[in-house]
């Protein structure tokens, strides 16, 4: 593998390449514009080289493991929203359908991005069962159920990425990309929570941020997704002991102001409910 | 969604082309970047001459952030101070017509930013910078439009700051803390954006074609925040790129 040849080839079609790859630029952000110019065959090779270069010799298996873990979650979300948008009459047209379509597009982009990064090491898409063995039997016929499961996926996604950050410590390219996906998932979670809240019922009091543990009104079935979100201690500091605007910071504010991670095991147990094979 | 979030500028998200969006984002940034010689003068970054080999001298140089992870935590502390001050003033001076939900959620956000600020202060202990002297005089708190635009700028900037600083952090515990906070800032950003234009929670201003949010280096973020910070700060040993 002659990396320099690849660079020269790319330079031939993209004169700004050297600038893009310079440490002062966020190389990863420019992949999209580059992919139009670089041949399809060369790109996966180039990207995997870029990432190898980025994470060097230290534990590449772990990094790939994290990326494949992320890819699995993104497959789940992408297929869920793709099926939801495609189901006529499920999502009200106008703003709701627009928002879900936006989210679908992001999840599909995440899948494509992670697959591109992993190249031949990418895991293949599992077969999903979004009814979770019948628990959510009406997930694609009842809008409230659809929103509830969407919210569960988004809040889980936010927790999942957070839980893996430590493995990517100091990794400019992969950690930054993971954080960039992570905050997009949090934006989705915020919006889905607003949509769900607007439907009233058990979700009428939930907010864009998570209060306590399971604040969803969905029921105990999603308890594992919110387990530990009611934590008020951060790095040994009890947030409720700190001064707020009047008196101490409330328990609600303390739990809302920090989102909690989930272990890979916990996330895969949750995702496993929706995976057939 | 329709019941609780009233879009005030429906046309923005739907009619603008991608190019116009990018232009808007750039203008937003330039407006707040205030890239004047004065605001940039306070930024002595790592790339400049090192004045703090002993890590002690901060005489006459402004508030010294420290180096390494401590400097990054002080950087986060500074941003949280700015956000907290903004929301305290916002809640104390509600614009005309602020809905009950807006009031309740802005109060929540205020309390989150205070929690972040106070957490960093306690966690940093003796290494914490002192309270910054801030300048919010350019914000028209009686204007819903101006308040929301400022909130959007601060929240998106906060998200990009944590996203861009993550890889500079050495201690996994600090990285996890940053991760716990950044997603809450992203939840705020999405809500504020939806108050401006329902559906703009993650539009092309902040999410690229790979589905990735914005990440900015500390030096870029501090340039953007500089117009709001009156205190002289010394970030000469703050990791950046």
Q: Which tens digits make up the pLDDT trace of B45-80?
A: 444 434 444 333 434 679 999 999 999 999 999 999
Asked whether the beta carbons of residue B169 and residue A158 sit closer than 8 angstroms, the reply is no
Whether A261 and B179 lie within 8 Å, measured CB to CB: yes
Tokens coding A202: 């058990």
Q: Which band of pLDDT confidence, cut at 50, 70 and 90, is reported for residue A266?
A: confident
Strands B63-64 and A237-238: unpaired
pLDDT, tens only, B145-179: 999 999 999 999 999 999 999 999 999 999 999 99
Q: A184 and B213: CB-CB below 8 Å? A: yes
Nearest CA in chain B to A196: B1
Give ∠ CA B92-B189-B46 in degrees, rounded to 5.
Answer: 100
CB pairs under 8 A between A and B: 229
- Looking up tokens 């700015």, which residue turns up? B82
Longest dimension (CA), chain B: 59
Kindly report the number of other CB atoms within 10 A of residue B9's CB atom: 11
Both tokens of B183, joined, read 């997603």
Residue by residue, DSSP assigns A234-246 as ETTEEGGGSB-SS
Read off the pLDDT of each residue in A19-23 and give the average, rounded to a whole number. Answer: 42
Average pLDDT of chain A to the nearest whole number = 82
Please state, in angstroms and rounded to a whole number, the distance separating the CA atoms of residues B26 and B3: 32
pLDDT tens per residue, range A46-77: 333 333 333 232 223 578 889 998 998 999 99
Q: Which residues on A lie below 8 Å from B202 (Cβ)?
A: 102-103, 106, 184, 187-188, 191
> Who contacts B8 (Cβ-Cβ below 8 Å, separation ≥6)?
B144, B145, B195, B196, B197
Rounded-to-integer distance, Cα A47 and Cα B129, Å: 41
CA quadruple A62, A68, A69, A71: dihedral, nearest 10: 150
Q: Please report residues of A whose CB lies closer than 8 A to that of B215.
A: 26, 176, 179-180
B chain contacts of residue A170, beta-carbon cutoff 8 Å: 167, 169-170
The pLDDT tens digits for B185-239 are 999 999 999 999 999 999 999 999 999 999 999 999 999 999 999 999 999 999 9
- For chain A, how far is it from start to end, CA to CA, in angstroms? 36
pLDDT score for A134: 87
Q: Where are the alpha helices (DSSP H) in chain B?
A: 10-15, 18-33, 37-41, 68-92, 100-124, 144-165, 172-196, 218-225
- B234 backbone dihedrals φ, ψ, rounded to 5°: -115, 100
Quick check: B123 and A189 CB within 8 A? no
- pLDDT score recorded for residue A229: 97
Min Cα–Cα distance to chain A from B182, Å: 7
pLDDT level of residue A277 (50, 70, 90 thresholds): low
Under the banding of pLDDT at 50, 70 and 90, the label for residue A222 is confident
Q: Which residue has the higher pLDDT, B213 or A224?
A: B213
Residue B60's pLDDT is 60
**Minimal CA–CA distance to B60: which of B239, B240, B238, B236?**
B236
């Amino acid at each position: 593998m002659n990396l320099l040849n690849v660079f020269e080839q790319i330079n031939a079609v993209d004169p700004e390449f050297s600038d893009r790859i310079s440490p002062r630029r966020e190389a990863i952000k420019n992949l999209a514009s580059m992919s139009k110019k670089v041949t399809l065959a060369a790109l996966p090779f180039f990207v995997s080289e870029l990432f190898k270069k980025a994470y060097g010799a230290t534990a590449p298996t772990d990094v790939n493991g994290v990326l494949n873990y992320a890819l699995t979650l993104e497959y789940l979300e992408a297929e869920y929203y793709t099926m939801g948008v495609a189901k006529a009459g499920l999502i009200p047209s106008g703003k709701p359908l627009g928002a879900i379509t936006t989210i679908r597009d992001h999840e599909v982009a995440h899948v494509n991005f992670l697959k591109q990064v992993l190249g031949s090491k990418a895991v293949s898409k599992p077969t999903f069962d979004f009814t979770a063995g019948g628990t959510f039997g009406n997930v694609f016929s009842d809008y409230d159920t659809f929103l509830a499961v969407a919210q569960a996926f988004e809040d889980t996604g936010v927790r999942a990425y957070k839980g893996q950050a430590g493995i990517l410590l100091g990794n400019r390219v992969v950690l930054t990309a993971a954080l960039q996906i992570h905050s997009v998932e949090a934006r989705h979670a915020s919006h889905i929570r607003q949509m769900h809240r607007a439907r009233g019922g058990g979700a009428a009091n939930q907010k864009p941020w998570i209060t306590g543990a399971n604040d969803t009104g969905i029921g105990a079935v999603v308890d594992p997704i919110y387990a530990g979100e009611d934590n008020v201690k951060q790095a040994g500091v009890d947030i409720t002991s700190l001064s707020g605007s009047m008196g101490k910071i409330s328990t609600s504010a303390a739990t809302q102001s920090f989102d909690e991670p989930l272990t890979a095991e916990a996330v895969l147990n949750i995702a496993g409910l929706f995976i057939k094979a | 969604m329709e019941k609780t979030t009233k879009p005030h500028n429906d046309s923005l998200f739907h009619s603008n082309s991608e190019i116009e969006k990018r232009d808007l984002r750039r203008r937003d940034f330039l407006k707040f970047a205030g890239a004047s010689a004065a605001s940039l003068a306070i930024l002595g970054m790592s790339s400049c001459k090192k004045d703090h080999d002993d890590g002690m001298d901060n005489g006459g140089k402004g508030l010294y952030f420290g180096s390494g992870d401590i400097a990054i935590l002080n950087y986060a502390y500074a941003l949280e101070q700015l956000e907290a001050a903004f929301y305290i003033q916002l809640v104390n001076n509600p614009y005309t017509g602020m809905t009950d939900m807006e009031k309740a959620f802005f109060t929540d956000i205020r309390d989150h930013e205070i929690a972040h600020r106070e957490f960093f202060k306690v966690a940093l202990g003796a290494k914490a910078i002192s309270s910054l002297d801030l300048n919010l005089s350019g914000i028209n708190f009686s204007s819903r439009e101006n308040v929301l635009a400022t909130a959007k700028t601060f929240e998106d900037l906060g998200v990009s700051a944590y996203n861009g600083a993550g890889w500079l952090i050495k201690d996994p515990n600090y990285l996890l803390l940053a991760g716990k906070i950044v997603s809450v800032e992203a939840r705020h950003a999405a809500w504020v954006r939806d108050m401006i234009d329902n559906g703009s929670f993650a539009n092309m201003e902040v999410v690229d074609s790979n589905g990735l949010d914005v990440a900015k280096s500390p030096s870029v973020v501090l340039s953007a925040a500089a117009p709001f910070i009156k205190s002289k700060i010394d970030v000469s040993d703050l990791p950046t790129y």
